A and B are shown apart, each in its own frame.
Chain A
Amino acid sequence: MQQAPHTVKSHKRRLNLKRREAFTGWLFVSPALIGFSIFTFGSMLYSLYLSLTDYNLLSDPNWVGLANYIRAFTEDQYFYPFFGNTIYFVVTLVPIVLVLSLLLAILINKKAGPLTKGYRVALFLPSITSTVAVSMVWLWIFNPDMGILNNFLTAIGFNNPPLWLADPAWSKPALVIMRVWQMCGYYMLMFLAGLQTIPESLYEAAEVDGASVWQKFIRITVPMLSNTTFVVAILLVIEAFNMFESIFIMTQGGPLGSTSTIMYYIYEQGFTNYNMGYASALAWIFFAIVMVITLIQYRFRNEQGGE
């Protein structure tokens, strides 16, 4: 009986401590919570609301229901071509960068003397610099008459080199070339990080069994890298969908709309034409598509038996 007050007291103290810890916890997360509530969570809901209005920056938004979404799918003659351009960049960039960056990672994972460190730096360099600045440089490289690429091609015997960014048939491949050059180094390092977690003993055992280089690659490297490949694929798809700065600087969506992507179209509708309600609807359609593709990737991954 005599001990009861003590127990109650200590229980109370524990409760108090717990309450204080919870208070501190909420206090510590509150700056981020308030900020994210406005600029991310609130902003998303706001964007959804704006997509159902005719907001144009100058006057207050008026409710128009689903009109913007209907316009995108049925009336807007640019929506499908620009959507097609976006898909073009995704289906070219994702596999090319994925395969090349894996191959580069294998090549620089070789311990072949002091030069290998230099290769790493050189291959990684394009990915740290700004796409805007690099696009300015490539704009000049691709210049049909005076650019160094066509001068080089003419010198080695191509008499009619492509006009690159000036030709609707070559503008997309030109952008892909530039983006592959810029993006590979970054994903190469991600693959390198994955490669370095594969135990050397696996390869040694395979060598004892007389496995060829190709067999080792298919049977050991690829399966052991499946986690990395998954992360890289997700990041790559998102990055390819979001291609914007290179288009903004190098082509402004042209020629003849051949490089205009949905992302660029959102910018144009929102900040050039001030159709911000319509641009918000485009942004949500686009967001939904990227989400579905990401979920499919996760699904695919789970069926493959990954964690």
Chain B
Amino acid sequence: MMEKLSLGMSARKKIGNTLYHAFMLILSFIMIYPFVWSLLSSFKQSSQLYGGNPLDMIPRPFTLENYTRLFEVLPFERFLINSVFLSVAMPLCMIAVASLTAYALTRLEFPGRNILFLAFIATMMIPSHVTLIPNYKIIVDMGLINTYAALFLNCMFTGANAFNIFFFRQFFLSIPKDLENAAIIDGCSRLGVFFRIVLPNAKPAIATTAILSFRSVWNSFLWPMLVLNDYDKLTLTVGLKYLKEWEPNWAVLLAGSSLSIVPIVIVFLIFQRHFMASTMNSGFGGK
């Protein structure tokens, strides 16, 4: 009797499990289908693409003409280099500013510290479009239009980096300061302590902020579109906007989209654990 009951239950469990996996596989398919479809379509001839059959995935024949055309219309190889450079250099600068600021706000006693912290945190609530027009005017007045300085200044000193300050402060609060104190007693300067002891111990926080900032820089659109004018300075994401204006062939447009999607997907797949951990950390585990 007992055996029969447990057998029934395990069978039900098995069916439940199968249903679960079937459902999740369909769901996962829906989520990745647009990417796979777009990548494969970028190797199709337009006649096949315009057929629009969702199951007709494999390019027949396989062609690179869309990519040839892509690099003819606009300097996409240049955009790729620019995007890679900016999404490494900009997060580095953001982290340098944010970690130093957060360190001072956590470990150094000085009047006005708490008000400063609150002021930085409050900027996270400011939507970027409120500062869009004045910042554009400031950049024009400074003569920095069409320079990368405009991008660096904007990402280092607006709400996005305020989040990084906040995140680093949370992290510094959670690690003991014994090591730092020992170094100070040994006569190490504060800056020395910061570079030699604090930063090497802050690797998890650096990884999280680096990944979140990398993603936001790689994908950023409106500000770089407004301040950059020369084609050879554009990023992939901004380049897509011009491609859409210049190129009527959808197979070429999908080649451009794929070129901007594939690199970040590769980075994501390599560092997927860190990407997901960063996102989970950014919500502070519900705290």
A residues contacting B by CB (< 8 A) are 18, 21-29, 31-33, 35-36, 38-44, 46-47, 50, 55, 57, 104, 107-108, 110, 112, 115-116, 118-126, 128-134, 136-138, 140-141, 143, 145-152, 181, 185-186, 189-190, 192-194, 196-197, 225, 227-228, 231-232, 238, 241-242, 244-245, 248-249, 263, 266-267, 270-271, 276, 279-280, 283-284, 286-287, 290-291, 294
Contact pattern, B 3-16, Cβ under 8 Å of A = 1, otherwise 0: 00000000000000
Which residue in chain A gives the minimum CB-CB distance to B53? A151
A114 CB → nearest B CB, Å: 11
Whether the pair A41, B119 counts as a contact (CB closer than 8 A) is yes
Q: Pick the residue among A22, A131, A148 that contacts B111 (CB under 8 A).
A: A22
Interface residues contributed by chain B, number (CB under 8 Å): 96
Q: In the bound complex, what is the Cα–Cα distance between A280 and B136 (angstroms)?
A: 12
What are the residues of chain B within 8 A of A238 when measuring CB–CB? 127
Residue of B119, B241, B261, B264 with most chain A CB atoms under a 10 A cut-off: B261
* Residue B177 lies at the interface, judged by CB distance under 8 Å to chain A: no
A271-B131 in contact given A28-B100, A29-B104, A110-B20 (Cβ < 8 Å):
no
What are the residues of chain A within 8 A of B127 when measuring CB–CB? 238, 241-242, 283, 286-287, 290
Subset of 9 A-B contacts with CB under 8 Å = A22-B110, A32-B100, A41-B123, A44-B131, A119-B28, A123-B28, A137-B257, A140-B38, A279-B133
* Residue B118 lies at the interface, judged by CB distance under 8 Å to chain A: no
* Residue B116 lies at the interface, judged by CB distance under 8 Å to chain A: yes
Contact pattern, B 104-138, Cβ under 8 Å of A = 1, otherwise 0: 11001111010010011001011111111111011
What are the residues of chain B within 8 A of A186 when measuring CB–CB? 279
A24-B104 in contact given A36-B157, A43-B138, A129-B261 (Cβ < 8 Å):
yes
Residue of B133, B154, B287 with most chain A CB atoms under a 10 A cut-off: B133
Whether the pair B126, A44 counts as a contact (CB closer than 8 A) is yes
What are the residues of chain A within 8 A of B264 when measuring CB–CB? 128-130
Q: Pick the residue among A22, A125, A130, A147 that contacts B109 (CB under 8 A).
A: A22
Q: In the bound complex, what is the Cα–Cα distance between A133 and B254 (angstroms)?
A: 9
What are the residues of chain B within 8 A of A24 when measuring CB–CB? 104, 108, 190
Whether the pair B109, A36 counts as a contact (CB closer than 8 A) is no
Interface of A, secondary structure class, is: helix
Q: Pick the residue among A125, A148, A193 that contacts B37 (CB under 8 A).
A: A148
Whether the pair A249, B241 counts as a contact (CB closer than 8 A) is yes
Whether the pair A271, B226 counts as a contact (CB closer than 8 A) is yes
Whether the pair B24, A115 counts as a contact (CB closer than 8 A) is yes
Which residue in chain B gives the minimum CB-CB distance to A269? B133
Whether the pair B27, A123 counts as a contact (CB closer than 8 A) is yes
Whether the pair A132, B285 counts as a contact (CB closer than 8 A) is no
